[in-house]
Chains A and B, each alone.
Chain A
């Protein structure tokens, strides 16, 4: 019986614990603030903008007494940086920050109540160099010069980037490119010329002569430093946001025809060992490569290159592991032989595209060959992995005027058309078998054509062709055209707001999307 008595007592104790504390408190309203007039996001340019913010502070009961407040503007960048940039009510802050994302905190301390009122924003710092077209060409004196069409909000022409970079004057302009990719530590901004190649500080665009290929090499081969500077770097940027076809594989082709390949996770960074332009059966001999690295832009798992000594295409397909390249085998009846020695043909030009014919998801490459009779051929292939695939071979018909004399070629990714130019003449040749056609185009006028290049970086689906011309009076001009989609006809439509004048004599352009 006692157990029931204990249970009842225990239940009362439990119920007692449910008793609500009604308390007996006095509540007093305090001064409350509402902060407005601050945006949640700001985007500014380094070395250009001053961030000016005038917050609107509404108080419920401060009686207009501004002396009761203290203000803090706090800037943070991850765990690496926290800085109080102002103690004033309003912010006026010249932007000299590095171009990384920041959080901006506005704190208002009411000294009488001890309460801090906050407002948070995000601050994005860009440089004028963060996004736009990188131009490489010649100035009026024939020196290599780099410019940029900065395209953050408005388009701004940034001049003299190479001549004011801190480098000696260079000749033979080749390219100006950002390596892109997801890893900031692997990214570089290169100026490539025939007389030297260097990487620049990506924020200041300055550099020194020791920022060159030699700092990236751990090699045992003896290679002349005179030819040890890059003229081609792969992979290229393939999206408007700056992605590349492979974030960890990188290949560099030098003026001397050496190819350096790195799997940057394996080598611990953007570093390179002995060149891979050699074959296993003759490891001691480096074979000079033609100045083209051929790969699938969408995913660079391998690189095909052209052995100028033995007139053949060779394949490097094992980044970070292989120390040489593979000789490709030719099956009877294939579109063309990888080994051209038996054909008597030599390489004239080569280019990577976004063309997907034959199921080449990541993009076919094209090569123009010529034989002893000056007949030209187009080879189309998929440089994808250890077993690249030949897609087709086309013979250039005699209707293609001056094809053999062209200064520049450019293959459309979306049509069977190759554009080419001879001095100031622009042609388009449709190589579709059985429907070959030639078009002479007058859109560029009488000015000398200095560059033809299809957009394979920003939005290749628009079929945009960039054409650079030069006139001593008006200087360099760069125009973007849209190639019409009518398969029976080739025409060029000027793209809106896509003509830039007063430039250098443009030799190459590349897209830059990030710092």
Chain B
């Protein structure tokens, strides 16, 4: 192979290698921000959860009387090598919570750090007695700035994300916090109400008062009732036995535990029958 042939061969090879270069397009979309809050089934990973326009803040599942609640905000558009700001404000149209009572004044200006594609904003929420009965909402909305517009005023659910309740369309520049301290019957509750409103089963009818009695006297938490794994049948039996022993002892000590309607609190193995709405009448 002479020199000219070698040069020609190198040229051909170079042209081949040149053709291997990948054409990478730069992102040309709108530089904006949106709420990227996902939730769904606890048995699935976050990668399967759909994006949501709301979050439930249930103080019953939380410890303490206030909570710093986080929400993820993501950007669209190119990553920049400097900090950029976006704004958040309360949306009065979707807010029933009262500033200073149910939440502290929110921080309005937030930063997307250099080279980042998201940040987490936080709002401090407070547990108040009225939340036991009434749910409050705190609506938040993103506000366009010179750095960011609003990415998805019309968000369509991503078809592949099916691991939770799906909201087909919503405005991703808005996010609502649904705040409550309402105690609903947990996933595992081994009791029932029979005809005539008679309490039955291991634990009888569910009530907040009974749950608080169990939590206070047996060292249980609401989360202990969240699944069969947490509260298998054998554990439920021990809860029944321990709770019944306390109720009977309190009854014998003339300090019976009553439900809000005045009936004797019921757990299987107590020697009395309780009917919802029928108050206990002490023996004279």
Instruction: Name A's B-contacting residues (CB within 8 A).
Output: 218-220, 262, 266-269, 271-274, 283, 320, 323
A-B contact pairs, 25 of them (CB 8 A): A218-B232, A218-B234, A218-B235, A218-B237, A218-B238, A219-B238, A220-B238, A220-B242, A262-B234, A266-B237, A267-B233, A267-B237, A268-B232, A268-B234, A271-B232, A271-B233, A271-B234, A272-B234, A273-B234, A273-B238, A274-B238, A274-B241, A274-B242, A283-B245, A323-B245
DSSP class of A's interface residues: helix, strand, loop or mixed? loop
Residues of A within 8 A of B241 (CB): 273-274, 323
- Asked whether, in the complex, the Cβ of A266 is within 8 Å of the Cβ of B233, the reply is yes
A220-B234 CB under 8 A given contacts A273-B241, A283-B245:
no
A269 CA to B245 CA, complexed, in Å: 24
A262 CA to B234 CA, complexed, in Å: 9
- Asked whether, in the complex, the Cβ of A273 is within 8 Å of the Cβ of B237, the reply is yes
Chain A residue nearest in CB terms to B242: A220
A272 CA to B269 CA, complexed, in Å: 17
A438 CA to B238 CA, complexed, in Å: 51
- Asked whether, in the complex, the Cβ of A220 is within 8 Å of the Cβ of B218, the reply is yes
A267 CA to B234 CA, complexed, in Å: 4
Besides A269-B234, A271-B232, A273-B234, 17 other A-B contacts (C-beta < 8 A):
A218-B234, A218-B237, A218-B238, A219-B238, A220-B218, A220-B238, A220-B242, A262-B234, A267-B234, A267-B237, A268-B232, A268-B234, A269-B233, A271-B233, A273-B237, A274-B238, A323-B245
Instruction: Name B's A-contacting residues (CB within 8 A).
Output: 218, 232-235, 237-238, 241-242, 245, 269
Q: How far is the CB of A260 from chain B (nearest CB, A)?
A: 11
Identify the interface centre among B234, B238, B245: most chain A CB within 10 Å of its CB. Answer: B234
Residues of A within 8 A of B218 (CB): 220
Chain B residue nearest in CB terms to A262: B234
Q: How far is the CB of B245 from chain A (nearest CB, A)?
A: 6
Q: 4 closest Cβ contacts across the A-B interface? A: A271-B234, A268-B233, A218-B235, A267-B234
A218 CA to B237 CA, complexed, in Å: 9
Residues of A within 8 A of B269 (CB): 323
Residues of B within 8 A of A273 (CB): 234, 237-238, 241
Q: How far is the CB of A252 from chain B (nearest CB, A)?
A: 14
A220 CA to B242 CA, complexed, in Å: 8
Q: How far is the CB of B229 from chain A (nearest CB, A)?
A: 12
DSSP class of B's interface residues: helix, strand, loop or mixed? helix
A423 CA to B193 CA, complexed, in Å: 65
Q: How far is the CB of A264 from chain B (nearest CB, A)?
A: 9
Q: How far is the CB of B221 from chain A (nearest CB, A)?
A: 15
A72 CA to B190 CA, complexed, in Å: 51
Identify the interface centre among A266, A271, A272, A273: most chain B CB within 10 Å of its CB. Answer: A273
Chain B residue nearest in CB terms to A217: B234
Residues of B within 8 A of A220 (CB): 218, 238, 242
A218 CA to B224 CA, complexed, in Å: 13
Residues of B within 8 A of A272 (CB): 234
Residues of A within 8 A of B238 (CB): 218-220, 273-274
Residues of B within 8 A of A269 (CB): 233-234
Chain B residue nearest in CB terms to A267: B234
A266 CA to B232 CA, complexed, in Å: 11
Chain A residue nearest in CB terms to B228: A268
A274 CA to B232 CA, complexed, in Å: 15
Q: How far is the CB of B244 from chain A (nearest CB, A)?
A: 8
Chain B residue nearest in CB terms to A284: B245
Residues of A within 8 A of B233 (CB): 266-269, 271
Q: How far is the CB of A68 from chain B (nearest CB, A)?
A: 50
Q: How far is the CB of B46 from chain A (nearest CB, A)?
A: 32
Chain A residue nearest in CB terms to B249: A283
A283 CA to B252 CA, complexed, in Å: 14
Q: How far is the CB of A276 from chain B (nearest CB, A)?
A: 10
Residues of B within 8 A of A219 (CB): 238
Q: How far is the CB of B109 from chain A (nearest CB, A)?
A: 52
A272 CA to B237 CA, complexed, in Å: 9
Q: How far is the CB of A80 from chain B (nearest CB, A)?
A: 23
Q: How far is the CB of B83 from chain A (nearest CB, A)?
A: 52
Chain B residue nearest in CB terms to A268: B233
Residues of B within 8 A of A267 (CB): 233-234, 237
Q: How far is the CB of B28 from chain A (nearest CB, A)?
A: 55
A268 CA to B233 CA, complexed, in Å: 6
Residues of B within 8 A of A323 (CB): 241, 245, 269
A400 CA to B223 CA, complexed, in Å: 64
Residues of A within 8 A of B242 (CB): 220, 274
Chain A residue nearest in CB terms to B232: A268
Residues of B within 8 A of A320 (CB): 237
A351 CA to B232 CA, complexed, in Å: 35
A220 CA to B234 CA, complexed, in Å: 12
Residues of B within 8 A of A271 (CB): 232-234
Q: How far is the CB of B159 from chain A (nearest CB, A)?
A: 34
Q: How far is the CB of B243 from chain A (nearest CB, A)?
A: 10
Chain B residue nearest in CB terms to A283: B245
Chain B residue nearest in CB terms to A323: B241
Residues of A within 8 A of B234 (CB): 218, 262, 267-269, 271-273
A43 CA to B69 CA, complexed, in Å: 64
Residues of A within 8 A of B245 (CB): 283, 323
Q: How far is the CB of B39 from chain A (nearest CB, A)?
A: 31
Chain A residue nearest in CB terms to B245: A283
Identify the interface centre among B218, B237, B241: most chain A CB within 10 Å of its CB. Answer: B237
A268 CA to B188 CA, complexed, in Å: 15
Residues of B within 8 A of A283 (CB): 245
Q: How far is the CB of A119 from chain B (nearest CB, A)?
A: 46
Residues of A within 8 A of B235 (CB): 218
Chain A residue nearest in CB terms to B237: A273
Chain A residue nearest in CB terms to B234: A271
Q: How far is the CB of B233 from chain A (nearest CB, A)?
A: 3
A272 CA to B241 CA, complexed, in Å: 12
A273 CA to B232 CA, complexed, in Å: 12
Residues of B within 8 A of A274 (CB): 238, 241-242
